[in-house]
Amino acid sequence: MYSSAFGSAQPIYDRLVRERGDVPAEVRRTAEQLQEEVRRAMQFDFRRPWPGAGFPSSSGI
Residue 24: inside a domain: yes
DSSP character at residue 36: H
With respect to residue 59, please indicate whether it lies within any of the assigned structural domains. Answer: no
Count of domains for the chain = 1
Q: From start to end of 1-56, where are the E strands? A: 3-4, 7-8
Q: Which domain holds residue 31?
A: 7-41
**Model pTM above 0.75:** no
For 2-53, write each residue's pLDDT tens digit: 455 556 778 898 998 999 999 999 999 999 999 999 998 888 766 666 666 6
Q: Is 53 a domain residue?
A: no
- 13: exposed, middle or buried (Cβ count in 10 Å: 0-12, 13-18, 19+): middle
